[in-house]
Chains A and B, each alone.
Chain A
């Protein structure tokens, strides 16, 4: 092995930094899943009848389904009866009324993660909702947002305070019958974030949710619902981490976005779940359904994701372009190192006239990582003049990893124009040597080359997030060229 490569191998060996565990007493419903589990979750959350009904319908439907096998990922069977479906820090049982009531151990956890929850520290202008295992522990800046009519709270709170909105929109983009994991989520989801931006309001700050899986053998099933009413605008960020554990943990989330006429939603994710160790032991199964609907004319939804964590990632943030002139975008960086597997991409469904979609996907594979892009561009017969552009690039570091592209295109309207471009390249010894010959260390060189490769995606992230994402990428790559 050439010397530079060996050095890179050492660099890539750096460890996961969010792998600590916070000792808090938890209130957990018994292991396993049946109708009683669901009734118990619903009762703990004091939910109205319609929610329980919906959960039970989802559960009964889920029983008729089988786990999908089509993704290019491999894992031992998941024992759904061996999971705790609800775990909440005991001290938060009744739900905190203000930040002062939050267990200091939890606040310290978030501080360690670099997510300050104290409002005075949030001058940066990001409102945060933090979800710890199954419940939301804090939502900051609530009052300021309320002044503008913006509702930003935990999902549980929304069910209590705004049941009419939840009832009106829940499951309208991702129905409880949608797919195996979405159905499971619909039955057992414990919390998540909720956001509603009223007509004509531009949300003045980034909204952010920070998810943390802490307890052992716990699944995290959160549900996020964001509605931008007519001509509203909101930008939303999501971050995730988990402690290091030898067992695989399941994370099956659902995110629904609804943009009404003239509205715009930007949704960005930096996902850094525990990826498993170097031999591929442990790590989070990240099986997530994310979908947005441009319901009104001239609406606009964009997904940006930086996926560096999780043992297996299985997600396709998608956009249904129903409104005329609506636009959907998907910008993705997915990195797999060691034995990580990712099967990710998007679905763009063109229904309205003059709808436009843009897909930029950058896959980076290192170590024994497997990275697949899977994308569907579907143009329905009524979608006069639809335009779609996909660019899908893969970068390989080393020769043990793999990259695949599975583009699907279905066009039922002759006026559509659908373009797809794909490329695969390798970080060459040439590029590395060139950088090193200019005095740049191999570590910095790889990180610079990879950042350059991801530039088209990073420029869609809010500034601070882009910096964060670049750092994360550097860390995740340490030790990765073989």
Chain B
């Protein structure tokens, strides 16, 4: 579904990603872990189409198309979803309207009829119940005055409503207490399906106690320095990131 090859990218001449390779197939959950500043969020945002990054080498294929050539809204309409690390506030625009506009643009793109207000509301209520969300969040302005936990759950709600093919979650667990992490994880697990790929970007291993990934990658200084199964996350938890970093350093020296 997603194939990243030798991706080099940066901001203002400063290289952040230095040759990332990543292959994600439908039905899989991949976790990308790494210390602060390793380029995790850059990778997530770049895949979603955020402006301001210069790609200097490499390619990204998504469903056999050149992802980097697509506009952000086209990526979204084609099924790429990013759960934001810092969800954005839009004053005066109700959460429900925002979601409905997004969903209907995507449905239109896929040749599906747009949902009317009643059907949409029903869909929304069902999804919210699953996430244990308060209905009053629908009439409130997008993310305005939401608590940290509410914002993150709101991202998962959008994920559940938009039903993307490729979901990228950028530090969705950060700043959440353990109960909230569990709720978010339940939401994500409910979305696992053979047609959908999920990429979890996270600093901590604890989210992976609830969402067991098929593959774990460690990103360090803009490169994936190690890949493995779910057990890799456990090792990281025990030894810390310095462990892979020293190891990589040692490898580089021998090379």
Given the known interface contacts A436-B76, A438-B102, A444-B101, the answer about A452 and B92 at a Cβ–Cβ threshold of 8 Å is: yes
Given the known interface contacts A436-B73, A444-B101, the answer about A430 and B88 at a Cβ–Cβ threshold of 8 Å is: yes
B98 at the interface (CB under 8 A from A): yes
- State whether B73 touches A442 (Cβ < 8 A): yes
CA distance A97 to B102 in the complex (A): 52
B233 at the interface (CB under 8 A from A): no
Please, which residues of chain B bring their CB within 8 A of the CB of A448?
A: 90, 93, 97-98, 101
Chain A 402-447 interface residues, beta-carbon cutoff 8 Å to B: 428-431, 433-442, 444
CA distance A451 to B93 in the complex (A): 8
CA distance A428 to B91 in the complex (A): 12
Please, which residues of chain A bring their CB within 8 A of the CB of B72?
A: 4, 433, 436-437
Query: What is the distance, in angstroms, from A457's C-beta to the closest C-beta of chain B?
Result: 10
Please, which residues of chain B bring their CB within 8 A of the CB of A431?
A: 88-90
Please, which residues of chain B bring their CB within 8 A of the CB of A455?
A: 92
- State whether A452 touches B102 (Cβ < 8 A): no
- In this complex, how many residues of chain A approach chain B with their Cβ under 8 Å: the count is 27
Given the known interface contacts A431-B88, A444-B101, the answer about A437 and B93 at a Cβ–Cβ threshold of 8 Å is: no
B141 at the interface (CB under 8 A from A): yes
Partner of A437, one of B48, B52, B90, B97: B48
B202 at the interface (CB under 8 A from A): no
Query: What is the distance, in angstroms, from A421's C-beta to the closest C-beta of chain B?
Result: 14
A105 at the interface (CB under 8 A from B): no
A3 at the interface (CB under 8 A from B): yes
Please, which residues of chain B bring their CB within 8 A of the CB of A436?
A: 49, 71-73, 76
Partner of A439, one of B50, B76, B88, B93: B76
Chain A 426-482 interface residues, beta-carbon cutoff 8 Å to B: 428-431, 433-442, 444, 448-449, 451-456
B77 at the interface (CB under 8 A from A): yes
Given the known interface contacts A434-B90, A453-B92, the answer about A439 and B73 at a Cβ–Cβ threshold of 8 Å is: yes
CA distance A438 to B93 in the complex (A): 14
Q: Which of A4, A428, A435, A441 has the most CB of B within 10 A?
A: A435
CA distance A435 to B87 in the complex (A): 11
CA distance A430 to B82 in the complex (A): 13
B42 at the interface (CB under 8 A from A): no
**Please, which residue of chain A has its CB at the minimum distance from the CB of B88?**
A434
- State whether B101 touches A440 (Cβ < 8 A): yes
Show 17 A/B contacts (Cβ-Cβ < 8 Å), sorted by A. A2-B52, A3-B51, A429-B51, A429-B52, A431-B89, A434-B84, A434-B87, A436-B72, A439-B102, A440-B101, A440-B102, A441-B73, A444-B105, A452-B91, A453-B92, A454-B92, A456-B92
Q: Give me the interface of B with A, judged by CB distance under 8 Å.
A: 48-52, 71-73, 75-77, 81-82, 84, 87-93, 97-99, 101-103, 105-106, 109, 141, 158, 162
**17 more A-B contacts (CB under 8 A) besides A429-B52, A448-B90?**
A4-B72, A431-B88, A431-B89, A431-B90, A433-B49, A433-B88, A434-B90, A435-B98, A436-B49, A437-B48, A437-B82, A438-B158, A438-B162, A440-B76, A441-B105, A448-B97, A449-B93
